[in-house]
Amino acid sequence: MTAALVTLTALGVLGAFDTIVYHEAVLHLPSKASARGELRLHAARDFVYALLFASLAWIRLEGVFSIAIAVLLATEIAITLADFITEDRTRKLPAGERSTHAVMGIVYGVFLTLLAPTLYAWSRLPARIEPASYGWLSIAMTVLAAGVLLSGLRDLFASTFAGARQPTSGSG
Query: Where do the structural domains in the chain lie, given as residue ranges?
Result: 2-129+144-161
Percent pLDDT > 90 in the chain is 85
Residue 33: strand, helix, or coil: helix
pTM: 0.90
Q: Which of these, 139, 154, 146, lies nearest to 51 by C-alpha position?
A: 146
| In the predicted structure, residue 168 carries a pLDDT above the cut 80 | no
Q: Is 156 exposed, middle or buried (0-12, 13-18, 19+ CB in 10 A)?
A: middle
| In the predicted structure, residue 116 carries a pLDDT above the cut 50 | yes
Residue 128: strand, helix, or coil: strand
What pLDDT, on the 0 to 100 scale, is given for residue 52?
Answer: 97
Burial 16-39 (b: 16+ CB within 10 A, else e): eebbeebbeeebebbbbeebbbbb
What pLDDT, on the 0 to 100 scale, is given for residue 171?
Answer: 45
Q: Torsion angle of alpha carbons 100, 103, 107, 108, nearest 10°?
A: 70
pLDDT (tens digit per residue) in 15-51:
999 999 999 999 988 888 888 999 999 999 999 999 9
Q: Which of these, 130, 136, 154, 129, lies nearest to 47 by C-alpha position?
A: 154
Q: How confident is the model at residue 54 (pLDDT cuts 50, 70, 90)?
A: very high
Q: H helices within the chain, ranges in order?
A: 2-17, 36-58, 66-90, 95-123, 136-161
